[in-house]
Amino acid sequence: MKTSAVYSSDLIKSRYNKIKKEMYCLLTSLHKGELVFNYNGRALNAKPSDLVRVLSEWSQKDSLDLSIRNIIVNTILSSENKQIGSGIICALALTQQGTDLLKVDVEKCRGRNYAEEGELYRAIRYLVGDGIVSQLAKKSLKLGLISADSVGFNLTYGKDFAIKQIKTKSLVGYIHPIFENCPKRIEGRILFIDGVIESVGEIDNFLQQCASSKENAILCTSGFSPDVAYTLYQNWEKGQLFVFPFVVTDWPDEGAEQFAESMGAPSISTSTGNILNLLDINDFSQNFSTTVEHNFLSISDNSGDDYHLEILAPGRYQPIMGLIEDRIKICRLFCRGIARTGSLNNPEISEIMKRLGFENISISMSSFLCGIKAARSCHRLVNNLGAVIILD
């Protein structure tokens, strides 16, 4: 049976102040490298890039403290999702010691500064320290980490890390939404179809050949009927067929046929007169390495104008590969923010950060502004709460 408890406004404010004091101690320990967190059963040293992970493991003794903590953590997470790096500013501004940050006139801070290369390296060092991830991020930065169309991560049989810059061509679109857990990297044949696949019968012979050969294939077309998409998904889920439907939302200016020809890949259109079910799979293109992103498909091609970075790690790093990937992606977005709006460079704010013990923090102007706005919103929300009823 559920029970409920009523908490007064004064008690909420008292607990809020207590939690803010705890959070300052937590942030200071994170800043000094004194924290660890659990990752896949391993205790790992926490870095500022792990702020959200650390806060998610921040325990509380009762429902009220937990509820207030959740409000704070959700605010920080929301801010971080909008602008990487803003979470630490939001968290600091919510502490008792950081109230001066809430009073800063953000309008006077606006403006664009041009970032130098050294600022990006300092930002990476602040985020992830001086270890292997920092070295990888800095090397990747020299190979175009900020401007790369996509960044992939994989394992290698070698003993050392390797970073490859691969020229690519991109198609705007998406893997059909029914393929929720589609792999990010697909090695296989590609077929470009100028039109919509409306029935399974149109591609039946092609699918049978793919099933027999156990080859991966990507069908790039303007659309698929629900029946076609569902059939491809069901067969993929059962491990019988590895054909992925990619919906092209915007063909390149030269059109599907010319785009396919430039890559040495086959195309099906009314102008070519090709009929898919009459083609043999061996007549199709060689295998391509592709990377599936949120809104485009990146296809390896030596004549491409875009490029993809591939970061390869020795097999022994497999247990923490997810963490390595997350930290490098955070570094990438963090550096993009600094490159776009410049580093925070304001004497008043620098003095406040020094008093807080965070004088070596490196952050973009946009991250600071986003973090302060989020903190002010959270502060108003908690202070304006009346009595609260919490169900256990």
The bridge status of strand 4-7 relative to strand 388-391 is antiparallel
Sorted by sequence, the CB contacts under 8 Å of residue 84 that are 6+ apart come out as 330, 333, 334, 337, 367
Measured CA to CA, the distance from residue 186 to residue 297 in angstroms comes to: 10
Q: Where are the domains of the chain?
A: 4-114+342-391, 167-311
- Do the Cβ atoms of 320 and 47 come closer than 8 Å? no
pLDDT (average), residues 336-342: 86
Residue labelled with tokens 């149109």: 202
Q: What share of the chain is helix, strand, coil (3-state, %, to 5)?
A: 50, 25, 30
Q: Is 4-114+342-391's fold the same as 167-311's?
A: no
Which fold is adopted by the domain 4-114+342-391? Answer: GROEL; domain 1 (1.10.560)
Other beta carbons less than 10 A from residue 269's beta carbon: 15
Would you tell me which CATH number, out of the four given (3.50.50.60, 1.20.272.10, 3.50.7.10, 3.40.50.1820), belongs to the domain 167-311?
3.50.7.10
d(CA 387, CA 382): 11
Euclidean distance between CA atoms 372 and 111, whole angstroms: 16
The structure's pTM equals: 0.78
For strands 288-292 and 185-197, give the pairing.
Answer: antiparallel
pLDDT of residue 80: 92
- Separation between Cα atoms, residue 340 and residue 363, nearest integer Å: 12
First-to-last alpha carbon distance for the chain, in angstroms, is 9
pLDDT score of 191:
86
Chain segment 72-92, per-residue pLDDT in tens: 999 999 999 999 889 999 999
State the average pLDDT over residues 325-340. Answer: 91
Q: Is the Cβ–Cβ distance between 180 and 161 less than 8 Å?
A: no
137: which 2 tokens?
């991020």
Which secondary-structure segment (H or E) carries 152?
Answer: strand 150-156
Distance of CA 52 to the CA centre of its chain: 14
pLDDT for 85-144, tens place per residue?
Answer: 899 999 999 998 999 998 888 777 666 566 778 889 999 999 999 999 999 999 999 998
Are 328 and 136 in contact, with CB atoms under 8 Å apart? yes
Model confidence pLDDT, tens digit, residues 245-294: 999 998 888 888 888 888 877 777 755 545 666 777 776 656 788 888 87
Question: How buried is residue 329: exposed, middle or buried, by Cβ count under 10 Å (0-12/13-18/19+)?
Answer: middle
List pLDDT tens digits, range 196-244.
Answer: 888 888 888 888 888 888 888 899 999 999 999 999 999 999 888 899 9
